[in-house]
């Protein structure tokens, strides 16, 4: 999925006092967002609701950084070259703005690869980009914070999930605590070390996905069962309304397919509600 810039570099950037940039280097995708808060930032003091953002620039490219890593345990030379080219494009965009704060993070592929740290050291030396490898727990927390404003008061509980290329994070949320600011909204969380890319690799590659589909479902269901039982999630879903909330490229791609979009359109996908039947 190619997500194109929504604004020409530098356009109306001078109108904003603060401009922020975030880069997410995942197992499958490299994404960059450059944005500025708009409106009264002081009106958004709680920890869950960020000020509304004006997107100044964005970039997304499928780099398949984790390709073949399940077998080798290392990032391949081809994957690193593809990723390096994407990061060169990101650096050019970053250089167009006077940025107040930048955070660049890497997730599962760099966490697991024996040469992940070495690759990021080379990126820092060659491109001047300091990319930090974050833990699966922080990845889950950031995923939740990124979409927490979409929690609805109609439900008491929510399952927030982030299906990436090399891992899947799930969070069991107490919405009443999340909205009130009391207690910990994330009552439990789970990181499964499989996402769309390495799960496909495990079952023979994307060419065998249809044949292996039922086996994939059983494999992942077994990984989720202890988490489900510990939190009585299936029981809670059956007895009351539980909101399902997701972020990242996998679910947004499903949303784009559902809408029949010829090109990705963030404005039509962010905040979209889909039924389980729609997803199936």
- The pLDDT tens digits of the residues spanning 124-149 come to 999 999 999 999 999 998 988 888 88
Number of residues assigned to the chain: 280
In terms of pLDDT, which residue wins out, 33 or 279?
33
Q: What is the pLDDT of residue 1?
A: 33
SS3 call for 159: strand
Bigger pLDDT: 5 or 209?
A: 209
What does R_g of the chain's alpha carbons equal in angstroms?
A: 19
Q: Environment class of residue 184 by beta-carbon count within 10 Å: exposed (0-12), middle (13-18) or buried (19+)?
A: exposed
pLDDT digits (tens, 9 = 90+) for 4-29: 333 444 555 666 789 999 999 999 99
Determine the Cα–Cα distance for residues 166 and 28; give it in Å rounded to an integer. Answer: 7
Of the listed ranges 26-30, 51-55, 107-111, the one predicted with least confidence: 51-55
- Please, what is the average pLDDT of the chain? 88
Contact yes or no for 86/94 (Cβ under 8 A): no
Q: Measure the CA–CA gap between 41 and 49, rounded to whole angstroms.
A: 10
* pLDDT confidence of residue 191: 93
pLDDT tens digits, 62-97: 999 999 898 899 999 999 999 999 999 999 999 999
């Amino acid at each position: 999925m190619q997500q194109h810039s929504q604004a020409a570099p530098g356009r109306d950037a001078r109108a904003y006092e603060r401009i922020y940039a975030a880069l997410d280097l995942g197992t499958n995708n490299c994404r960059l967002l450059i944005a500025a808060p708009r409106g009264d930032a002081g009106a958004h003091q709680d920890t869950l609701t960020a000020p509304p953002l004006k997107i100044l620039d964005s970039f997304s490219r499928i780099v398949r950084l984790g390709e073949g890593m399940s077998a080798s345990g290392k990032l391949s030379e081809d994957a690193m070259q593809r990723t390096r080219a994407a990061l060169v494009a990101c650096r050019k965009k970053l250089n167009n703005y006077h940025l107040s704060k930048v955070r660049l993070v890497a997730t599962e592929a760099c966490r697991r690869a024996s040469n992940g740290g070495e690759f990021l050291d080379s990126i820092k030396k060659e491109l001047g980009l300091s990319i930090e490898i974050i833990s699966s727990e922080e990845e889950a927390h950031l995923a939740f914070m990124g979409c927490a404003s979409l929690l609805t008061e109609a439900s008491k509980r929510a399952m927030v999930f982030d299906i990436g290329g090399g891992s899947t994070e799930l969070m069991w949320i107490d919405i009443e605590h999340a909205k009130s600011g009391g207690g910990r909204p994330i009552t439990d969380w789970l990181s499964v070390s499989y996402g769309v890319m390495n799960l496909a690799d495990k079952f023979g590659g994307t060419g065998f996905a249809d044949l292996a589909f039922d086996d994939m479902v059983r494999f992942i269901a077994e990984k989720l069962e202890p988490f489900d039982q510990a939190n009585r999630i299936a029981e809670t879903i059956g007895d009351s309304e539980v909101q399902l909330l997701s972020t990242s490229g996998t679910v947004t791609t499903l949303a784009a397919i559902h809408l029949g979009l010829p090109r990705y359109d963030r404005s039509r996908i962010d905040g979209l509600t889909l039924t389980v039947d729609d997803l199936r």
